[in-house]
Chain A
Amino acid sequence: MAHGAGGKASRRLIEGLFAPLLIGSSAQSLGDAAHLDFNGIKIAITTDSFVVKPLTFPGGSIGELAVNGTVNDLAVSGARAEAMVVTFVLEAGLPTPVLEAEVRAMGSAARDARVAIAGGDTKVVEHGKADSMYITTTGIGRPIQGLKIDPRSVRPGDKILLSGPIGDHGITILLARGELDLEADLHSDTRSVLPLVEALAHQAGPGVRWMRDPTRGGVATSLNELARDCGLGIVVMEEMIPVRDAVRGACELLGLDPLHIANEGQFLAVIAPEYADAALNALNSAPGGQDTQIIGEVREQPSGAVLVTTRYGGSRIVDMLVGDPLPRIC
């Protein structure tokens, strides 16, 4: 199934099956977390499952991803993670030290993000039925004051911000699998983006219209979802998108587009033009936000699509990822 790779197939599965049968027909914008109101008490809730091979890789591991991923999904929906519960699916025979290392990694990431781990569940499945371990985290959070995320509020002229270099996580994982005779000094970008989102909310909150963390399917998929949800065109300048040389080199060699590669520690934001400078300054002066760039803007056209322009005057439409990115050789 291509449905897990975060691109078109995932979207079709959600829109065609899950949303109509489980949520009702009105799931017009599928955000990273749901915001609920119980008689005036507002909470945000999200859940995410983590399946990664290898379990540890330069810059992080599955345990750390499982905490940061859920913290980030809440953050880009405009909420601060407060607590989470954890489910482990373990393959029989998994060495205890491996499990312990991941539990420690989770604890450390949770402390850094100041989120409480409030409970959990463990299931053990037969040997060979799971790739060592799967982790699911479900987080609840409180809305961040002054932020309102809604793709329908996006207007032509709005600016698109990207918090830092893209593709580090996806390429790191690809190389860590050891199937390619390629080496690079590269590590996953896994981190909590909450401090950056809070800095943004503080300095430019009223101007923030939309946010998303471009995980599986990469920046191209997130921006295509935005284009579809707001019905406008997203125009991005390729030369403004920060990409490390190691990522660019690997992508050139393998025929991949960095815009389709997964990230675990970056986010995209659409900012009203009058707040663009304040937003950029807020992120540039926050720790870990120095590489933030305005990479493009919202236009009337091409409606519902993402257009990438190049330095030398050419342009191309960039679609969502179809299935997993596969290297081209021949």
Chain B
Amino acid sequence: MKFVDEFREPEVISRTAAEIRRLADPHRHYRIMEVCGGHTHAIYRFGLKDLLPSNIELIHGPGCPVCVLPMGRIDDGLAIAQDPQVIFAAFGDMMRVPGTQGSPLEHKARGIDVRIVYSPADALKLAEKNPDRHVMFFAIGFETTAPSTALTLMRAKAQGLGNFSVFCNHVTIIPAIRAILDSPDMRIDAFIGPGHVSTVIGCRPYEWIAKNESRPVAVSGFEPLDILQSIVMVLRQLKADEARIENQYKRVVPWEGNRAALRAMAEVFELRPYFEWRGLGFISQSALRLRESYATWDAERRFVIPGVRVTDPKAAQCGEVLKGVLKPHQCKLFGNECTPEHPIGALMVSSEGSCAAYFNYEHRKTAMVSSISSVA
């Protein structure tokens, strides 16, 4: 399959892995954060840790939109959905995320009208097909999905569609990275930059990480070879004592980003003064809301929102795992009270969350005999 197979070619991958081993100073411990949940998932799914020397530690970052969404927001969204007029539409990613009264899927089982959509535009179509109902799209995601929400809202406005609204939970990546770098217990040497977000925002917004914080960044694709090449890039910089932004994902990411997408976002959204992130707390100017000119389509303005705040159980150490202070399995709840079926902490919720990825793909592997030779 084109754009997939060539990035999983065993020979090139083993050459790149050898290059990583050559570059890594055996007397040094490297802590590299992959910001994006898609990378976390890929690292586990492809078993990339097996290819890295033990002194390269990958820290899983805050870039999983489902994981960082506070439970109160889910409760708020589902509170609106209790109205029999309302159709609650969201991505499949959201369906198993628990609110205090259960996940959207569990609400669906109790008779609430919950629909899985594949894009905000599908939610808009749902509104067109059901003129006597109100469709509320529960929007989540970073700059990756925000432009499609923006374009959908522009269309709703152009059509004057009254029975559609967006409950906006879009967040932005840069403030989250800043929060992690500002944290006193933070210990990260370099970043693997988020590929999908960067297709929209480009590479410039990361420049301060190199300039002010002296940390190398490689914006990376999601195939095994992409991620390994990005590790090579940051290792080379660390070796040369440099800090630059490199674009490994050139086949998709333009340095300047996608202007049309950014324009759509600017037309529809403005920054919230602050927003709560699960595991990280309140971060200023880190999330988007609809502008006044889109108030008609803003679920937070149209409906009475309970404004639920739910604090994570004290024993859950999501914040420490997010900042790389703890590994997923070092959390007291991991694998006992907190599992993908019954997630307590944020990072166990989505398959892109570091705890869920660790649980699904890595857990129990440690007990195995290390050498796996050919079987047939």
Contact = CB atoms under 8 A, between A and B. Distances in A.
Contacts of A318: 360-361
A240 B376 contact: yes
A329 B145 contact: yes
B96 A179 contact: no
B368 A302 contact: yes
B65 A233 contact: no
Contacts of A316: 44-47, 360-362, 365
Interface stretch (B115-123, B246-254, B327-335): B115-123
B341 A8 contact: yes
B369 interface: yes
Contact of B375 (A180, A296, A329): A296
Contacts of B375: 235-237, 294, 296-297, 309
B204 interface: no
A134 to B, nearest CB: 18
Interface in A236-276: 236-237, 240, 245, 248-249, 252, 255, 257
B118 A326 contact: no
Interface string B333-376: 00000001100000000111000000011111101110010111
Contacts of A255: 41, 351
B93 interface: yes
Given A179-B122, A252-B4, A323-B96, A314 B352 contact: no
Contacts of B374: 237
Interface in B52-110: 65-66, 91-93, 95-96, 105, 109
Contacts of A300: 369
Contacts of A252: 1, 4
B293 interface: no
Contacts of B91: 327-330
B14 interface: yes
B226 to A, nearest CB: 13
B368 A314 contact: no
A309 B372 contact: yes
Contacts of A248: 1, 4
Interface string A315-328: 11111001100111
B121 to A, nearest CB: 9
B351 A328 contact: yes
Contacts of A236: 375
A128 to B, nearest CB: 13
B376 A235 contact: no
Q: Name the residue in B13, B351, B376 with the highest tally of chain A Cβ atoms < 10 Å from its Cβ.
A: B376
Given A297-B375, A315-B365, A317-B360, A327 B51 contact: no
A135 interface: no
Interface string A139-173: 00000000000000000000100000000000000
A1 B46 CA distance: 31
A312 B365 CA distance: 17
Given A237-B376, A301-B369, A310 B47 contact: yes
Contacts of B40: none
Contact of B364 (A305, A312, A328): A305
A312 B8 contact: yes
A317 B364 contact: yes
Contacts of B109: 1
Given A307-B372, A326-B95, A329-B91, A312 B1 contact: no
21 contacts: A1-B109, A159-B376, A237-B375, A248-B1, A300-B369, A301-B369, A302-B368, A305-B364, A310-B8, A310-B47, A313-B10, A313-B13, A313-B47, A314-B50, A316-B46, A318-B360, A322-B340, A326-B93, A326-B95, A326-B116, A328-B93
3 closest A-B pairs (Cβ-Cβ)?
A314-B47, A326-B92, A330-B141
Interface of B: 1, 4, 8-10, 13-14, 17, 41, 44-51, 65-66, 91-93, 95-96, 105, 109, 116, 118-119, 122, 140-142, 144-145, 224, 340-341, 350-352, 360-365, 367-369, 372, 374-376
Interface of A: 1-2, 8-9, 159, 179-181, 233, 235-237, 240, 245, 248-249, 252, 255, 257, 294, 296-297, 299-303, 305, 307, 309-319, 322-323, 326-330
Given A1-B109, A313-B47, 12 more contacts: A237-B374, A248-B4, A300-B369, A302-B364, A303-B367, A311-B8, A312-B51, A328-B350, A329-B92, A329-B145, A330-B140, A330-B145
